[in-house]
Amino acid sequence: MIRFPPVRIPSSAADAAALMNARRTNFIQYTVAILIEIRSLVGVSFEEMTEAFNDAFSDYDIPAKYSTEYLINLVIRRGYRPDLAVGAFDEDRLVGFVFNCLEGDAAYNSGTGTVISHRRRGIARQLMQRSIETIPAKRYILEVIETNRRAEALYRELGFLETRRLQCWRWSKDERMLERKLTGLRSLNRDSLDVIRSWYDFPPAWQNEVASIRRASEPHIVIGDENCGAVVFPSNGDVPLLAVRPSLRRRGLGRALLQEITTRIGKPLRIMNVEDTVAGFLERCGAERVVRQIEMVRNI
């Protein structure tokens, strides 16, 4: 039950402002509690989820216009759990959501949003609070675009701490660049994912981890040899893993591997949510940075 603060006389201007803010917050929550139902997304179709997602992210730095198939592939790869995901409903319409995922003792927020018509009502806060209270995990991980100050502030208020900065890149093959051909590159089996992962100097972001790749419902290709390797999803050019054996770096293997995989799939590559430490390599390869994100974690 939501209760308003007891009536009292403020002792200072600052105290009066704090009291007003507390009453405003409780009023918003009270209004939302009356008009909006908060419940899990069990039984909610992906078509409904896609409609709400595209509305909520239509005015972001990178506007969303996802197909239902794309959203299905996205959340399944991340470990989507409808029983742990949370939605806000205005009658039968999904107007807010948190797409929660689970892997072992860690949870991941694959997307939080509120449709434009229902913003400024505290819906995102309530959805996040419900998620924190119900997720059976020790850590709750999310990412937020660094220009989204409002969302970042909300997550910090809810106890999330910044762990690192991530970057998203786009790379197209430049025929003017001198190419180094790699002989012996071949398609590798799924067991090779762990080998490629072992060459990393930092933990891949959630959607790029081996567990996420193995969950994927869409086909992916593993290419490499005993010295380097990469994973690519031909449907959209996403490259969740790309690494060179540490002792053989700075010899052009990474660039040649990029050229090989883009030749094979015939489209530009997306290299999403990688640490700042690889920015120099990607810049030298001619990649274009698209957006920066903040990874945040809350212990539960």
Is 88 in contact with 55 (CB distance < 8 Å)?
A: no
Asked if pLDDT for residue 22 goes beyond 70, the answer is: no
User: Residue 231: what are its φ and ψ, rounded to 5°?
Assistant: -120, 135
* Residue at 6 is within a domain: no
What is the reported pLDDT for 1? 45
Is 95 in contact with 52 (CB distance < 8 Å)?
A: yes
Q: Cβ of 111: how many Cβ atoms within 10 Å?
A: 23
pLDDT in tens, 87-108: 999 999 999 999 999 999 999 9
Binned at pLDDT 50, 70 and 90, residue 31 comes out as low
What is the reported pLDDT for 6? 52
Of 131, 164, 197, the last residue of a domain is: 164
d(CA 126, CA 163): 24
200 with 237, same domain? yes
Compute CA distances 221 → 105, 195, 242, whole Å.
Answer: 28, 15, 12
Residue written as token pair 């398609």: 187
The 8-class DSSP code of residue 155 comes to: H
What is the reported pLDDT for 53? 97
Nearest-CA neighbor of 289 among 173, 208, 168?
A: 168
- Segment 176-191 mean pLDDT: 66
Is 249 in contact with 212 (CB distance < 8 Å)?
A: no
157 with 212, same domain? no
Is 206 in contact with 293 (CB distance < 8 Å)?
A: no
Of 147, 164, 181, the last residue of a domain is: 164
Binned at pLDDT 50, 70 and 90, residue 5 comes out as very low
User: Do β-strands 106-114 and 139-145 pair in parallel, antiparallel, or remain unpaired?
Assistant: parallel
Side-chain-side CA neighbours of 146 within 13 Å: the count stands at 14
Task: Please give the residue range of the domain that contains residue 127.
Answer: 13-164
Binned at pLDDT 50, 70 and 90, residue 190 comes out as confident
246 with 121, same domain? no
Share of the chain above pLDDT 90, in %: 76
pLDDT in tens, 158-177: 999 999 999 999 998 765 55
- Segment 227-255 mean pLDDT: 95
pLDDT in tens, 35-65: 899 999 999 999 999 999 999 999 887 778 8
pLDDT in tens, 117-174: 999 999 999 999 999 999 999 999 999 999 999 999 999 999 999 999 999 999 987 6
* Residue at 106 is within a domain: yes
Amino acid at 58: S
**How far apart are the two ends of the chain, measured CA to CA in Å?**
23
Nearest-CA neighbor of 168 among 269, 247, 84?
A: 269
Asked if pLDDT for residue 181 goes beyond 80, the answer is: no
Side-chain-side CA neighbours of 196 within 13 Å: the count stands at 27
183 with 102, same domain? no
93 with 226, same domain? no
130 with 174, same domain? no
* Residue at 4 is within a domain: no
Residue written as token pair 């081996």: 210
CB contact set of 42 (below 8 Å; sequence gap of 6+): 82, 83
Binned at pLDDT 50, 70 and 90, residue 23 comes out as low
* Residue at 66 is within a domain: yes
Is 241 in contact with 229 (CB distance < 8 Å)?
A: yes
Asked if pLDDT for residue 182 goes beyond 80, the answer is: no
d(CA 217, CA 231): 15
Is 112 in contact with 148 (CB distance < 8 Å)?
A: no
- Domains contained in the chain, number: 2
